[in-house]
Amino acid sequence: MTWYELSKDLWEIIDQIADDLIGDAAWQEGDPTWDTTTKTGENARRVCHHIADDIYLALIQSNTATSRRSGASALYAKGLIVVISDAWDGGAHEPSGNIQIVFVPFEADNGAVVADLADFEIDHKLFTGSSGFALVGVPPPNASDIYQCSFLVVVERNTNKIYADGFTNFHIYVDGNNFNSLWNTQNSGTALFGVNVRWYRYTHAFTLQAQDAYQKAYLAFKSTGDNKAYFMKPVLHNDTGERSPWLQPEFWIAVSSSKTNLADDDVLAMPVPSTKTYQVTLKQSPDYTNYLRYAIIKTE
């Protein structure tokens, strides 16, 4: 496991995640033709293969000025595209089988997006481990674009299910401090690998994609690191009615209430015998004063 607090371009962050995962015995290179050499369009991309679960995880830098748009008269956007699939077409060099896609639109404008993600350093906190990664990013100020959001991206493999639900061990969780609902209700540009590109807050591959389907539990622990209370990990469900719980995630905690006395970058320690710690992220962004309220895993 590794923890980073850096400022890098998105394609460099993609490389860091992919290299760390592939460097773990649980993962391998998914397709060596996917690399970040070309940083225009949606060509900077990497893919990793989880060997035991036979799952492919792809990360793509979407750096097109006018291709990704949330509706006919809405914003154009650039950002990160997360793709998960249960097969890979080695001839076409692309995902196949069951495919789900999540869009992370953190840079946008009413017209063509000006920011070039090839040279656009994002302040970020990143955890990588054998079970996936957790990323919080804050884009730099850019007067040429009107919409910039801080964002959270978590991809977690977790076998500690509440019950054997018969579905995969992978879930994806994505949020922003001001992600517009249009990014979910409208397809963002042309389909990719035959799948619509949208922002979904919660994905349980290949069972459900939704804005909700998780609930924050009411029981609270006290962090032994800073003597502050915080909510325990949310409960994830396989339905939007929140009546089929399957997992409490290990990589993230929802800190949704402004009434808690947590501060940005507080480190929370789980009660003994756990050795896990989490770093609080209360992030605004260059264009919005709303807060991104979460904590992501820092040490296992």
pLDDT at 234: 85
Does residue 218 register a pLDDT over 60?
A: no
Please report, as a single letter, which amino acid is at residue 53.
D
The helix (run of H) or strand (run of E) holding residue 132 is strand 132-138
pLDDT at 28: 98
pLDDT at 190: 82
Q: How confident is the model at residue 224 (pLDDT cuts 50, 70, 90)?
A: low
pLDDT at 67: 82
Give how far Cα 156 sits from Cα of 70, 285, 290, Å. Answer: 27, 25, 26
Q: Three-state secondary structure along 98-126?
A: EEEEEEEEEEEECCCCCCCHHHCCEEEEE
Q: Is the pTM of this model over 0.75?
A: yes
Query: Do residues 73 and 170 make contact, with C-beta atoms less than 8 angstroms apart?
Result: no
